[in-house]
Amino acid sequence: MNSVLLTGYISKESQVFNKKVMKFTIATSSNVKVNDQWESKASFHQITAFGYHIKRSVSKGDLVSVECHLDYSNYEKDGQKVYQTSLILDNLEVLKRKESQQSAPANSYQGHREQEKKDAFEQQKQDTGRTHEQQKQDYIDGEFQDLPF
């Protein structure tokens, strides 16, 4: 299994190259013992994204959770072989926007789908006067076939 899970803050604005590749950096922290004292140590991880991930909006200061896989490559520079390890984005979820963007919705596919479901239930509730739980039970009972879950 090739999987890396990280939760941290975006440390600088994302960069998009040729409308095909997006790179951004996540800062994480861990505690290390130095001279019998625990200190917080920051680590910075550059994430590379392709495809539909590029259309997602992440900004410096956002708290995100990412699932990535490791990719290994090498190239030659000045006659020397250079080895590189990259974190390639598989899934991104914005957990919290930075303070100035609190009202903005989380820009993740899963978050977007959950919001669509909630909106559909609210509309159904307005139309039928039934709560979310009642609607779920109706769906289970087969009374409404058009609910979005």
What digits encode the pLDDT tens for the residues 46-97? 999 988 777 777 888 999 999 999 999 999 999 999 999 999 999 999 898 8
| Residue 101 confidence (pLDDT) | 47
Tokens of 2: 């090739």
The packing angle between helices 132-141 and 109-128, to 10°, is: 90
User: What is the C-alpha separation between 71 and 77, in angstroms, rounded?
Assistant: 19
Place of tokens 């190239």: 75
User: What is the C-alpha separation between 9 and 7, in angstroms, rounded?
Assistant: 7
Task: Give the chain's domains with CATH numbers.
Answer: 1-98 (2.40.50.140), 108-149 (no CATH)
Higher pLDDT, 31 or 122: 31
User: Three-state DSSP class for 56?
Assistant: coil
| Residue 149 confidence (pLDDT) | 37
In this prediction the pTM is: 0.60
| Residue 123 confidence (pLDDT) | 55
| Residue 100 confidence (pLDDT) | 59
| Residue 125 confidence (pLDDT) | 56
21-25, 117-121, 128-132: which is most confident: 21-25
Cβ 86 vs Cβ 115: under 8 Å: no
What confidence tier does 6 reach under pLDDT thresholds 50, 70, 90?
very high
Tokens of 15: 């960069």
Cβ 27 vs Cβ 11: under 8 Å: yes
What confidence tier does 44 reach under pLDDT thresholds 50, 70, 90?
very high
Spell out the alpha helix ranges (H) of 5-149.
Answer: 109-128, 132-141
> Among candidates 53, 44, 69, 43, which has minimal Cα distance to 19?
53
To the nearest whole number, what is the mean pLDDT of the chain? 77
